Structure formats: structure tokens, C-alpha cells
């Protein structure tokens, strides 16, 4: 194993997806907010 391949194996490439670290509570609150908004929209439009 060369030095370059050893370094490449340790470095994780970022692809633009969600970060692994950070406040998970914000993600949960935003998700539930979206659920509530969609439910209100469905009820308001009479689709339920």
C-alpha cells in the first residue's frame, strides 16, 4: 500500500449529502412540521 492510497483510504469524500454531525433535533422538528403542514393542506382541500 502506497502513501497515497493509505491517505485516500482515510479521507472520506463529501458528496454534498446531509452532514453526519449537527443537531438532529432540528431535522426532526422540520420533518414533523412538514408532516403537519401537509396534513393541514389535505384536510383543507377535503382530500381526506
pLDDT at residue 29, rounded to an integer: 94
pLDDT at 7: 56
**What's the pLDDT band for 48 if we cut at 50, 70, 90?**
confident
Q: Which alpha helices (H) appear in 1-48, and where do they start and end?
A: 3-10, 24-45
| pLDDT at residue 1, rounded to an integer | 56
pLDDT for position 24: 86
Calculate the dihedral angle through the C-alpha atoms of 19, 24, 25, 29, rounding to the nearest 10 degrees: 60
Q: What is the pTM of this model?
A: 0.52
pLDDT 10s digits, 3-46: 666 555 566 676 776 666 667 899 999 999 999 999 999 999 99
Q: Give residue limits of the domains in the chain.
A: 24-48
The grid cell for 19 is 452532514
Amino acid at each position: 500500500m502506497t502513501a497515497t492510497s493509505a491517505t485516500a483510504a482515510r479521507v472520506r469524500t463529501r458528496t454534498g449529502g446531509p452532514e453526519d454531525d449537527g443537531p438532529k433535533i432540528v431535522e426532526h422538528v422540520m420533518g414533523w412540521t412538514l408532516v403537519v403542514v401537509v396534513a393541514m393542506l389535505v384536510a383543507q382541500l377535503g382530500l381526506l
